[in-house]
Amino acid sequence: MSIVDGPAGRLAAEVAPPINVMKTYTPVKTTQGKPGIVVYDLGQNFTGWPDVKVRGPKGAVVRMIPGELLNEDGTVSQRSSGGPQWFSYTLKGDGADGVEEWHPRFSYYGFRYVQVEWTSGKGELIALTGQAVHSSSPTAGKFASSNEMLNSIHYLIVMAMENNTVSIFTDCPHREKLGWLEETHLVAPGLIFNNDLQGLFAATADNIADAQKPDGMVPTTAPQYTVFAKQGYGVFDDSPEWGSASVLAAWSSYRAYGDLGELQREYSVMQRYVKFLESKATDGIVAYGLGDWYDIGPGGPGFGKQTSMGVTATLMLYQDAVTMAKIARLLDKPEDAESYAALASKVGTAFNARFWNAATGQYDKGSQTANSMPLELGLVPEARRSEVLEHIVSDIHAHNDHVTTGEIGYPYMLRALMAAGRSDVVMSMMMRKDPPSYGSQLAAGATSLTEAWDANPHSSQNHFMLGGAEEWFDRGLGGIDFDLSRPVREERITIRPTMVEGVNWVKCWYESKLGRIVSDWKKVNGVLTMEVTIPAGATGTVWIPIEANNVVMEGRVSAEKASGITPVRRSDGAAIYCVTSGNYRFTVK
């Protein structure tokens, strides 16, 4: 026995919900491999540990090797998940009826397969199950549609999100388990729609504050267990797309949960980071970092290849400044708000001066990321917005409806297409089954979203960084747009579903801070039916797709005359209504 010092720091109550066993998987297939080796297929790539029931003599040792994939000989591979790692149990030999049950208590892994072998003595494995272990954050939303491909993609993303919400938002549940921060803002809308993550976002903010350096730098991971550079800040320690989570993840959390106190507590951290990032700019351009990580281009995955260094990082500073101006106004800091608005204007002007090509109507080298991010962030000259949009659409079609962005640009591209009413293009991308695509991951047998667009077996099979499509499912197809930062009460809940070819119905609900919001729709024989729920005490704006002569009914009466409904206008191919709390059934004929 050794006596050691206790942990440093201040003991505080847990902020995020506890980690629990949330589900148990039973084997769907058992394979006898090499002599003495049995491989169990649990049918799902998940985060957790194996639970075994064994019988045998005292001192016998059973070893369990977990992994996401199999080798050609049927044994478990850890090439995608990192190793060697295994769990082992030494039998006591005195269980009731000779049966002993055990699972790890202090370590977990991401896996689908378990290879079992006896390394000492010989015992009997009576049963093996997999226990999924992750955050007990309550379910907050559901999505389903008539299109099974979309449902399968949604499932991949949700599984990866759940698998990587343990005590922090992790990149993967095996080889690293690090709190890489970019995911906490890039795919925040999808994360928040599926689970109530207010506690986990608050815990992340605390980790960011703890990890922030004296000069204001926020590292790429928080907590910063690993420092990649021996001295100074290496590219894997400091990248603007990651550090900007200090501002943008906090803002995403506020939009969902409305906790002004959290913004107040985090404000100084955000201020110091924006000041640090501004200090890294030369003539308004920030040109360092990881860039559009894992985009599609020449060579293997990693640093961005399609988009010049400086595009994504400068736009992070711009978005940080725009967001800080909003936060400062909410916190009644008008001078700060003016200062951040001026910074945003300065950076936006510098960005356009450096990267906008008026002759071609494109940014930088014309990549999907370079054109999509400024379009979504409002930097494209108003008269040229449709032109830039068309370049994005043309590039997608030129790549046979495939994505070329990395994880940074992808959510912005989807948002830009949604805002422009081009979900038809998104749908075409979703239907691809050849790489790079979600469909190619499904074709490769993935049961959780993979790190690389093509499900590369050398990359993690359990990442959620490419999960931007979840926002399109929930806010696009489902139409539920919830934002507590909006000053107008009826605009905090917006129902605006998108109808695309290949989808005949969608069922979608979200348990917001105001109550449950429901948006279900279906089209049968040309008739659109929308069932909408606005929670008690709330109001919302409902956009109902129509053509020029369509009549909109609510129940058996005209929507214009129905109780609780105030017509707003007819425009942009929609009839728009302000509705009070209640359940509504709209029919368009």
Domains and CATH numbers, the chain: 19-135 (2.60.120.260), 141-477 (1.50.10.10), 481-588 (2.60.420.10)
Distant-in-sequence, close-in-space partners of 334: CB < 8 Å, separation ≥ 6:
328
Helices (H) and strands (E) in the chain, counts: 15, 22
The structure tokens listed for 23 are: 């589900």
Alpha helices in 111-239 (DSSP H): 148-163, 183-186, 188-194, 198-211
pLDDT of residue 514: 96
The structure tokens listed for 101 are: 């049950």
Phi–psi pair at 399, nearest 5 degrees: -100, 30
Phi–psi pair at 8, nearest 5 degrees: -80, 180
pLDDT of residue 301: 82
The structure tokens listed for 527 are: 């008739």
The answer to whether 429 and 402 have CB atoms below 8 angstroms apart is yes
The answer to whether 235 and 285 have CB atoms below 8 angstroms apart is no
Encoded amino acid at 529, one letter: T
Encoded amino acid at 491, one letter: E
Distant-in-sequence, close-in-space partners of 580: CB < 8 Å, separation ≥ 6:
534, 539, 564, 565
pLDDT of residue 513: 96
In tens digits, the chain (589 residues) has pLDDT values of 788 888 788 888 889 999 999 999 999 999 997 888 999 999 999 999 999 999 999 999 999 999 999 999 999 999 999 999 999 999 998 766 889 999 999 999 999 999 999 999 989 999 999 999 999 999 999 999 999 999 999 999 999 999 999 999 999 999 999 999 999 999 999 999 999 999 999 999 999 999 999 999 999 999 999 999 988 899 999 999 999 999 999 999 999 999 999 999 999 999 999 999 999 999 999 999 999 999 998 888 889 999 999 999 999 999 999 999 999 999 999 999 999 999 999 999 999 999 999 999 999 999 999 999 999 999 999 999 999 999 999 999 999 999 999 999 999 999 999 999 999 999 999 999 999 999 999 999 999 999 999 899 999 999 999 999 999 999 999 999 999 999 888 889 999 999 999 999 999 999 999 999 999 999 999 899 999 999 999 999 999 999 888 999 999 999 999 999 999 999 889 999 999 999 999 999 8
pLDDT of residue 96: 64
Distance CA 310, CA 352 (A): 12
